[in-house]
Amino acid sequence: MPAIPLMIPDLPPAAAVLPYLERIDAAKWYTNFGPLVKEFEAQLLVQLAPGREDIRLVTTSNATVAIEMALQALHLPRGARVLVPGLTFVATGTSVIRAGHEPVMSDVDADSWLLTPAIASRALAATRIDAVLPVATFGCPQDVDQWRAWSEQTGVPVLIDAAGAFGNQPVGPVPVVFSLHATKSLGIGEGGFVVSDDADFIERIRRLSNFGIGANHGEVDEAGTNGKMSEYHAAVGLAALPRWQAKREVRLSLQAGYRLALQQHAPTVMWQDKPEGIPTILVVAMPSGVDAGAIASRLATRGIETRRWYCPPLFEHRAFAGCDAAGPLDVSRDIAGRLLGLPFHLHLQIDDVSTVCSELGAAIDDEQSHHTSPAALDFVSLPAKTAVHRPRRAARRG
């Protein structure tokens, strides 16, 4: 294991889960919407939408299946063209394909790294779009009110993939999918859930997660899948929720420590321009002209594990080679080539953060000193909205 690993999942200890396992033994109910699943769903609603009786929620076996079922529940035509960001995890695109639809690649905003309503409007003007699947990239929340207004104006449904944004992403006006994978800020091993203010939509997903079987166990009207959450995963979830606030504070503290250390040691790295939130992972972009792969290799020799998330971008994977694009993808391509995920987990110490940022800054300085030329220096004068971005100081909001 590296001296400073990238990620260490933090699930509740066995002792905290044991009382819930004993309840499962006593009830002899192991899956199929058991009492622990219902309790977990109720507690998630309290966490996400306190006092909102109009909000509904359904748990699933994982977030990828949740997206597939939610797309099916939208009752899109077969082969619908679904706009997705070019800068995202592969599950966003595979969910669209496995739901029987066609991903259409979109560029992202240069500052937030998000597919926004403004970008979706330009895509809609250029090509046919039947639905939009924006992503809360690296936990940066999508604006649900803006998306609701956009959907009402255009008549195009919107489903938000907020897999890694628990604690950040608001819910209500449009459907939102969250992940509970072991590496997420609220992890239970495997799991996911969908939140919406449309009770019928949530009920359709619940039926689809049980093969399409309704409450009366009668004839199946629509073919579903087996996407239910088990009682065992709900047990882990119920044990995890009481630890959420403490974990939240540690993550916020680590993020603040990173911001200060990066400002001191690596001030040219770029952060997402986003509201303060609870990070699941911490990703920065190298300055233009700096080889992120070379930086990752240098840090590895120092015992620091990193990961180049979303490199290559979605549209450069062979699985999506035949997909259409709704315009140029220059911003997504540029950002993906410069991204580097830094160690971020609850076992990290503040001295580790200082070491990571010090080594990162030294690696960037060495890389720039080896490649400095008049042409390279000209990059920094380009406007921030072009395909190659002006370096930002790490002190801006992460």
The CA angle 150-154-159, to the nearest 5 degrees, is: 55
Provide CB contacts within 8 A for 83, sequence distance 6+.
104, 106, 115, 120, 123, 129, 131, 132, 133, 326
3-state secondary structure string across the chain: CCCECCCCCCCCCHHHHHHHHHHHHHHCCCCCCCHHHHHHHHHHHHHHCCCCCCCEEEEECCHHHHHHHHHHHCCCCCCCEEEEECCCCHHHHHHHHHCCCEEEEECCCCCCCCCCHHHHHHHHHHCCCCEECCECHHHCCCCHHHHHHHHHHHCCCECEECCCCCCCCCCCCCCEEEECECCCCCCCECCEEEEECCHHHHHHHHHHCECCCCCCCCCCCCCCCECCCCHHHHHHHHHHHHHHHHHHHHHHHHHHHHHHHHHHHCCCCECCCCCCCCCCCEEEECCCCCCHHHHHHHHHHCCECCECCCCCCHHHCHHHCCCEECCCCHHHHHHHHHEEEECCCCCCCHHHHHHHHHHHHHHHHHHHHHHCCHHHHHHHHCCCCCCCCCCCCCCCCC
Query: Does residue 83 contact residue 332 with C-beta atoms inside 8 Å?
Result: no
Find the catalytic residue in 28, 38, 184, 247.
Answer: 184
Q: Is 184 a catalytic residue?
A: yes
Report the chain's C-alpha Rg in angstroms.
22
CA 197 – CA 203 distance, rounded (Å): 11
Helices 350-371 and 292-301, packing angle to 10 deg: 130
From its phi and psi, is residue 102 left (phi > 0), alpha (psi between -120 and 50) or beta? beta
- Please give the positions annotated as active site: 184
